[in-house]
Structure formats: C-alpha cells, structure tokens
Amino acid sequence: MRVSPAATLSVSLTIPLPLASTKARFSGVPFRFKQYVFNYQILSRPGRLVAAKPTRRWTFSCKCRNRGRNGYAKFDDEGEDFIVVNFFRFVSIGDPEAVIEKHLSFLKDLNIRGRIYLNEQGINAQYSGPSKDALAYVEWLKGDERFSDLLVQMSPAINGHAFPKLKLQNKPSLVQYEGGISHLPLLEPPMRAKPLEPSEWKRKLKDLTDDDEASPSSSSGRSCILLDVRNGYEWDVGHFRGARRPEVDCFRNTSFGLSDEKEAPLDPLINVDKEKTDILMYCTGGIRCDVYSTVLRQRGFKNLYTLKGGVSHYLEEEGTAEWVGNLFVFDSRLSLPPAAYSDKAVDKPGSDNAEDKAGRTPQTPVDTSFAKCYICDSQVQEIRHRNCANLDCNRLFLCCAECVVDLKGCCCSNCITAPRLRPVLHGVKRYEKWHVYRDSEVQTAPLV
C-alpha cells in the first residue's frame, strides 16, 4: 500500500516493556508512561520509516502490565492498599521444581514481589503486593490440603512494594543456619518445640517478670529461661523483657545449649537440668525457633516451647505486653511499631480501615529508653537502623543524629576513608545500588 506524505496516521500500540531494558527507577510506585511524540515522514516506499523534519506527529500511549516471571512490570494498581505477607510451613514436597512451576504459573498475572523459597522440607515466604493479589496467592495455596490451616501474618506496606522483585526458587535451606538444616528432622512435629498461643506465652512471661529479683524461676516452681534466637541487630530495636540472646550477631551462629564447658559463662543453657527446665524461645515469625528447637531436642532438652507465629503474631493478638521497642522486618521497611500488627492496622480489603493503612505505618508511642547509639552509647530518638555508608561494610546499626553527621553515616572512623563511600542519607531512606553513587560526589551535609 502506498501512503501519501500528507496523510495523517494514528497508531495505538501495546508494548510489553521489560524492566531490564529501561534505565528508569520505579521504586515500587504505581507508574504510567506519559505520551511521547515521535516525528516521522511517511515515504512512498512501503514499510520504511526515516526520521525527517517535523511534518506529521505520531502519538504513542504506552502502559505496562505485569507478565510475571518474564520480568515485566505492572503499574496499574494506583490507589490500592499494599500489604506485606509472611508465612512458612515445614511439610514434605516431593518435586519442588514442579511445584515451583505451578506457583510461577499462578503468580504470572499478580503484582507480587518478594522471596518465596521451596524445597523438599517446605516453604518460606515473605512478599508484598496489592492486598487483592497478595491474598489471592494465600487462598490459592490453601487449596492444597497441606497448607489449608496455614498461619499467615500481614502488615501494612509503605509506599508500595517492600521488595524490589520476585524471587521464587528452590533453595537448599529455608533458613540460613551453620551446617545447613536439610539433615534435621523438621518434618517430625515432636522433634520441634511445642508452639504456645500468644495468650499462653503472655502468661508465662508474666511469671518471669513478676519476680522482683529477676530469678529464672516461674510461679509454678519450675526453672524457666527465655531465649531470643534472632540476629543481634533485631534485638537492638525491640525484644521481650527478661530475654537472653546469644553473643553472636547472626542467628546462623547461635550456640546456646551447644557450647563447650569453657564457654559456660556465655551460655545460659550449659548447666541447666534438661529434664526440669522450661526453655521458651521466640523469633519474628517462628521458623527459626522450629529449626533451633530441633537442634536442642537432639541435644537432650525436653521442655522446649516456642511462640506460635512469632513476635508478629503475638503483637497482633496481645499487643505490647512484656514487649519493648519495635519489630525488625527483613524488607525495605526495616522495622515496624507494634501498632502495625494490631487489628486496626491490618484489615481485610474493603473494610473501613483498609484505606487508612495504605502507604503508611500506624504510629503509637513506643518505649525507646533501651535503644542506644552503636557509636557513642547515647539514647537514640528513633528506633530505626541505618546501613553504614561504607558499601564494603554495610553494617546495620542504630545511630544518634550527632554521630551520623560526625562519622558521615559510617559505623566507625575506619569506614570514613573507605574507597566506596556512599552519601549520608537524610530521613527514612534506603541506599540504592552502588552505580547510582559511583560517579557522583559524596554528600556529607548534616541531617535535616
């Protein structure tokens, strides 16, 4: 067909746009392309377009839609409430790769980002998305009888997605622990700690804290020890009163009950009566306690108890009783106040409160008296970690405003002179990838 140069042609295109092909940074915010105008001259030779002086205008309107595993983005969820969902289940999965394919097939048209790990021992998932998509995945999974009674934790997201992308894969260990966990009898419930409902956990904590002399004896006369098996930086922003934690920074190196005699002063389980001591342990969602209690069970400890659903479930059911501070979370939010897990903070889609929780975290007064600056040991005003500005350190730490300025966002004086130094972040922000800062001047302005 021959077309006259004077003709006007209007074209509408739908283009799937992989994120890898664009330099734009979307940061999880709903986004639509503006209209772009291209000036071309249509020549008499069919099928050929060449750039020329502006004689006619073509207007293209593009909108991206999620194509799931292929990496396309979905930006048509403007105005929806985003939530973060967490759950896990130790259960036998015969062919993880085949199961993963089924999950990917279901998720391909959902706007979900996060980490979903499966293997022969079960599933561990943390992801974000619009509530309708996030909950649709939960309901689909519960259609499998192995997950029909799955305990699911939800909390409000902040400004859209809490994760940069979806990572759904077969992972050797659902939890990182020194030596791995594939050899542990995690599929045998009697080998794990007995889960306590939040109300029962609260009663046991009251027995501990009611003792004026902070004795480990409970009102029932039994010996009782409360263990926090999370990472050190999680403890720093919030924990249960009276808890003990290992002298390690990372859970994978936890050694309570596994120590040699020479390490006895650092291990509260080294000399306890394994038959008569109640050991209560907790973590964020419960999965690490299931792993660690199995290790302790193999070491002969009989009376092991864990908080069902972890701290997040406890805060939802019982509020802040015996808890101080915030709860660390493994996503872009870093930490949440206890109110984020209350019924008023997390509502079902369509409820009166659903709009209130979208895009922001509910705030209530939080006890910050225990939180200390990692550098000068003074009290911090905001219980929120920051990463060291030295990329090669990247330590998570609490810091007062003065030390942030004095050390240029670093955790120590040695990091100030590091070759890959990022700028000081102002307010509640997370660092971008290194290439964003590589060719720019390091910012050292004080916080505002």
Residue 324 domain-assigned (yes or no): no
For residue 270, the tally of other CB atoms under 10 A from its CB is: 16
Cα distance between residue 399 and residue 409, in whole Å: 9
Residue 109 domain-assigned (yes or no): yes
Same domain, 101 and 195: no
Residue 296 domain-assigned (yes or no): yes
What is the CATH classification number for the domain harbouring 163? 3.30.70.100
What is the CATH classification number for the domain harbouring 196? 3.40.250.10
Same domain, 88 and 60: no
Could you list the pLDDT tens digit for every one of the 448 residues in the chain? Answer: 444 444 434 444 444 444 333 333 333 334 333 333 333 333 344 444 444 444 444 444 444 444 333 333 344 455 579 999 999 999 999 999 999 999 999 999 999 999 999 999 999 999 999 999 999 999 999 999 999 999 999 999 988 999 999 999 999 999 888 888 999 999 999 999 999 999 999 999 888 776 534 454 444 557 899 999 898 889 999 999 999 886 666 655 555 555 555 555 567 787 788 999 999 999 999 999 999 999 999 989 999 999 999 999 999 999 988 999 999 998 988 888 898 887 533 344 444 444 443 333 344 466 778 889 999 999 988 888 889 999 999 998 999 999 999 999 999 999 999 999 999 987 666 787 787 777 665 444 344 3
Length of the chain: 448
Got the DSSP string for 358-390?
A: TTS--------TT-B-TTT-PBPSS---EE-SB
Q: Which residue has the tokens 């390490």?
A: 263
388 as an active site residue: the answer is no
Reading the block at residue 209, the tokens are 């804290």
Same domain, 291 and 210: yes
- Quick check: 395 and 419 in contact, CB under 8 A? no
Same domain, 202 and 89: no
Number of domains observed in the structure of the chain:
4
Q: Which of 286, 316, 346 is the last residue of a domain?
A: 316
Cα distance between residue 108 and residue 66, in whole Å: 7
30: helix, strand or coil = coil
Q: Which of 141, 170, 199 is the last residue of a domain?
A: 170
Task: Say how many Å lie between the first and final Cα of the chain, rounded.
Answer: 64
Cα distance between residue 113 and residue 103, in whole Å: 13
Same domain, 205 and 134: no
Candidate list 224, 283, 410, 415, residue with the active-site label: 283
Q: Which helix (H) or strand (E) holds 236?
A: helix 232-237
0.75 surpassed by pTM: no
Residue 75 domain-assigned (yes or no): no
Residue 179 domain-assigned (yes or no): no
Residue 45 domain-assigned (yes or no): yes
Same domain, 41 and 108: no
Same domain, 203 and 301: yes
Same domain, 223 and 299: yes
Same domain, 100 and 33: no
Same domain, 31 and 128: no
For the four alpha carbons of 443, 444, 445 and 448, in that order, the dihedral sign comes to positive
Strand partners for 59? 37
Residue 359 domain-assigned (yes or no): no
Q: Which long-range contacts (CB under 8 A, 24 or more apart) does 428-435 make?
A: 428/384, 430/332, 430/334, 430/387, 431/387, 432/25, 434/391
Q: Which residue has the tokens 């030779």?
A: 45
Same domain, 240 and 312: yes
- Contacts (Cβ under 8 Å, ≥6 apart) of 357: 81, 83, 156, 345, 346, 347
Same domain, 305 and 198: yes
For the four alpha carbons of 16, 18, 22 and 23, in that order, the dihedral sign comes to positive
Residue 54 domain-assigned (yes or no): yes
- Quick check: 133 and 112 in contact, CB under 8 A? yes
Range of the domain at 153: 82-170
